[in-house]
Structure 1
């Protein structure tokens, strides 16, 4: 399964609580935190909701 790397590049201060909760659900707490998540539609939807706060990169699959 493909993986994606998500980095929080902007603080969620001043944004609505649902966006903050989405970041917590993704595992992002502080600015410049990086998490690796599976590339599935549910995660993509969460990223879409906070796309102005995060940077997303696709990771190559390792065999």
Structure 2
């Protein structure tokens, strides 16, 4: 069985003074502190959440 592809996501922006919807997306990604890095499965839903926050998250290698 092939291993599931994963990506690492890093929070680069603060949720202070952001819309509540953007804060909830960050929490859903598992990010809550600046410069925190999490590893998640690469799915279309995850890519969509990342696309909504290009100013707050970055994909790292």
What TM-score, normalized by structure 2, do the two folds share?
0.88
Distance in 1 separating the partners of 2:34 and 2:15: 9
Question: TM-score, normalised to structure 1's length?
Answer: 0.85
Correspondence 1:56 to 2:51: no
Q: Deviations over 1:18-60 (max 9, x none)?
A: 00000000000000111001110010011111111011135xx
Does 2:17 align with 1:3? Answer: no
Tell me the number of residue pairs that the alignment of Structure 1 and Structure 2 aligns.
Answer: 58
* Aligned 1:4-19 pairs, distance under 5 A: 4-19=7-22
Q: Measure the CA separation in 1 of the matches of 2:16 and 2:5.
A: 31
- Which runs of 5 or more structure 1 residues have no equivalent in the other structure? 59-63
Structure 2: where are the runs of 5+ without partners?
A: none
